[in-house]
Amino acid sequence: MTRILFFALLALVAWLWFFKKTRKPDPVERKPETKAIEQIVQCAHCGLRLPEGEALAAGERHYCSIEHRDAHADAPDDGR
């Protein structure tokens, strides 16, 4: 009985050692890329708020679409 336990333990150790050697290493953990925070701007025509990267700029004013930019450009200046 002692011999059976000895060989079973020996087989278990050999099996664990073999699979430890053949296992792929853990992938390197990557930190998620941090995105720059965009400023939120307001459309000068309709008041919609959107990220500055998606807005159309005309001078210091921002617009949500080409139509609003063109409509506001055709309107007389209201002194803002």
Write down the pLDDT at residue 28: 73
The radius of gyration computed from the CA coordinates of the chain, to the nearest angstrom, equals 33
d(CA 51, CA 37): 9
For residues 27 and 34, is the Cβ–Cβ distance under 8 A?
no
d(CA 55, CA 45): 12
Q: Which residues pair with 41 in a beta bridge?
A: 50
Predicted confidence (pLDDT) per residue in 21-63, tens digit:
666 666 777 777 887 888 999 999 999 999 999 999 988 999 9
For residues 58 and 69, is the Cβ–Cβ distance under 8 A?
yes
pTM of the model: 0.50
